[in-house]
C-alpha cells in the first residue's frame, strides 16, 4: 500500500506542477481589478501558491488508497459509493473550488476532473462485500430496543452498558 500511495501522491504533485499551476499562474498574472491597480506577483506568493496547490493535489490523489482501506475495514462499500455518486460530485466540486486559488471555471474543471476519475477508480478498488445497506439505521434501532429489553433482566450489569451499545453499532452490520 505504501508504494501505490507514494506514486499516487507524486502523480498528484506532477499534475499540479505541470498542468494546473501554469494555468493558475497565467490567470493570476493577467487578472486585473482595475487599470490603476498594478498586478504584482511576489516570489513568496508564487512559491506559496505552488506548494499549496501541489500538496493539496498530492493528498487528494490518495483518494483510492483511503477508499480501499475504508472498504477493507467495512466502513465503505461499492454499493454505497455508487448510490451516493451525485453527492460525491458536488463534494468534489467544492473541494476543487477550495484547492484552486483562481475564480475561473477552466481551472476548477482541471482540478475536479482528475478527482472524479480517481473517485471512479476508487469504486472499482473497494471490495464488493455487502457491509452497508439502506436499513442500517433501522437495524440499529431494533438492536437497541432488544438491548433495552435485556436491561430489564435481573442479571443486567450496569458496567456493560457502554460495551453493549458499541457492540450493537459495530456488530449490527451483519443483520
The tens digit of pLDDT for each residue in 64-119 reads 999 998 888 878 888 888 888 999 999 999 998 888 877 778 888 888 999 999 99
95-119: b or e for each residue (b if 16 or more CB lie within 10 Å)? bbeebbbbeeeebbebbbebbbebb
Q: Above 50 in pLDDT, residue 173?
A: no
Q: Measure the CA angle with vertex 135, ends 134 and 138; round to 5°.
A: 145
| Mean pLDDT for all residues in the chain | 76
Give the number of other Cβ atoms within 10 Å of residue 152's Cβ: 7
Q: Which three cell numbers stand for residue 100?
A: 484552486
pLDDT at 174: 45
pLDDT at 121: 92
pTM: 0.64
- Owner of C-alpha cell 487578472: 31
Residue 146: band (very low, low, confident or very high) from pLDDT cuts 50, 70, 90 = low
Amino acid at each position: 500500500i505504501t508504494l501505490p500511495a507514494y506514486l499516487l501522491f507524486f502523480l498528484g504533485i506532477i499534475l499540479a506542477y505541470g498542468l494546473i499551476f501554469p494555468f493558475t499562474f497565467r490567470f493570476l498574472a493577467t487578472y486585473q481589478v482595475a487599470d490603476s491597480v498594478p498586478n504584482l506577483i511576489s516570489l513568496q506568493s508564487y512559491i506559496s501558491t505552488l506548494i499549496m496547490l501541489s500538496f493539496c493535489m498530492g493528498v487528494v490523489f490518495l483518494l483510492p488508497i483511503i477508499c480501499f482501506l475504508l472498504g477493507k475495514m467495512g466502513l465503505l462499500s461499492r454499493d454505497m459509493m455508487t448510490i451516493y455518486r451525485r453527492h460525491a460530485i458536488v463534494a468534489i466540486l467544492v473541494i476543487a473550488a477550495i484547492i484552486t486559488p483562481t475564480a475561473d471555471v477552466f481551472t476548477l474543471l482541471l482540478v475536479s476532473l482528475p478527482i472524479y476519475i480517481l473517485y471512479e477508480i476508487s469504486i472499482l478498488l473497494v471490495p464488493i462485500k455487502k457491509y452497508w445497506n439502506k436499513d442500517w439505521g433501522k437495524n440499529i434501532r431494533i438492536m437497541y430496543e432488544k438491548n433495552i429489553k435485556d436491561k430489564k433482566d435481573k442479571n443486567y450489569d450496569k458496567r456493560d452498558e457502554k460495551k453493549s451499545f458499541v457492540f450493537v453499532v459495530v456488530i449490527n452490520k451483519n443483520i
